Structure 1
Amino acid sequence: MAIRSIITDTDHFLRKKSRPVDKFDDRLHVLLDDMAETMYKEDGVGLAAVQVGVLRRVVVIDVGEGLLELVNPEIVEREGEQEVVEGCLSCPGKRAVRLRPKKVTVKAKDRNGKDITVSGEDILACAFCHECGHLDGELFYDNIIRMVDPDEEE
């Protein structure tokens, strides 16, 4: 495993749309392992492959409930609404308030190509939306209520 460099929002690479994964091989496993190690080192709760320079539809998420690896994730259900304060490993020092669904269900594949469906509420729902947005070239502050002052309490 290796720590990968995280691309920041000044790089237009983050605006590119990621391509689906069609090979579930050792190369994908290394990418997933490296992404998880990088996310944990940077104290994040999620990371998309595009953030480490790989245009593939791959995300890792851990909001404190264990690591989720999602390959070719697709949000299939959204319920409710919540106002959240978000940040991003690719946007150091920036935080914003935005609306996200309260509950989200995602269909994806695991690292071996097996179909999985996962649902999450609150911060996990937010993480699903945030990371899936990265795969389509979106950044969290594209659709916000307001930016948060760095000194403002959450």
Structure 2
Amino acid sequence: MSYKIRTYGDPVLKSKALKVADVDGKIIRLVDDMFDTLVESGNGIALAAPQIGVQKQVVVWDLGDNPMAIINPEVVESDGEWAYDEGCLSIPGLYVEMIRPKTVLVRGVDLQGEIIEIESDELEARMFQHEIDHLNGVLMFDRLEGDQRAEALAEYRRIEEQTAAEAAAARRNPLRRLRSS
């Protein structure tokens, strides 16, 4: 089963997720559903449970080689800096250059309930930091300051307005929708 991805403005995205006490059947089903949702998103590499409205510390990701999940993840070490245009399934269409640590050591629990540590760099390190931010109720906009934040918010509003206008036009002209499929 897949879920609708919550988008900017939804209060669930600003709430801190609860730690998972036991990796049980419910958590396994949640992980499966999160993978379904991630695949259906079409362009995401990772998803945190709050992005589907579930306030649990669960993250799934697929960087193309081996889909994985981690429970109660935390960054325990970080180093360096890496600038990258970061996007978010909960802020669709917006990409903003952000500087984050280049390498991280993440500790959490796997689906067997065992403690794991993952050393990562660049894209994978950024993904962990971004998804752990979601678990703490932090969005990309919260990491931006001053003019960069104002510009990102304005661009996102422009994207939302354009998307709404395109949806309204498609509703008014169903043949247009069929031709573009």
TM-score by length of 1: 0.91
**Which of structure 1's runs of 4+ aligned residues deviate more than 2 A?**
144-150
Alpha-carbon deviation of 1:112?
2.1
Q: Which residue of 2 aligns with 1:47?
A: 47
Aligned: 1:21 with 2:20: yes
Alpha-carbon deviation of 1:144?
2.8
Letter of the 1:117 counterpart: E
Q: Which residue of 2 aligns with 1:84?
A: 84
CA distance in 1, matches of 2:61, 2:25: 20
| 1:1-154 alignment, distance < 5 Å | 2-42=1-41, 43-144=43-144, 146=148, 147=152
Structure with more of its chain in helix, by fraction:
2
Alpha-carbon deviation of 1:91?
0.6
User: Identical aligned pairs, as a percentage?
Assistant: 37
CA distance in 2, matches of 1:63, 1:101: 19
CA distance in 2, matches of 1:112, 1:10: 35
Q: Is the 8 A contact 1:104 1:120 kept in 2?
A: yes
Letter of the 2:74 counterpart: E
CA distance in 2, matches of 1:31, 1:130: 20
CA distance in 1, matches of 2:52, 2:124: 21
Q: Is the 8 A contact 1:96 1:144 kept in 2?
A: no
RCO (CA 8 Å, sep 6+): is it higher in 1 or 2? 1
Letter of the 1:26 counterpart: G
CA distance in 2, matches of 1:15, 1:100: 20
Root mean square deviation of aligned Cα: 1.6
CA distance in 1, matches of 2:87, 2:62: 15
TM-score by length of 2: 0.78
2:77 partner SS: strand
Letter of the 1:104 counterpart: V
CA distance in 1, matches of 2:17, 2:143: 20
For these two proteins, the number of residue pairs brought into alignment is: 149
CA distance in 1, matches of 2:85, 2:65: 20
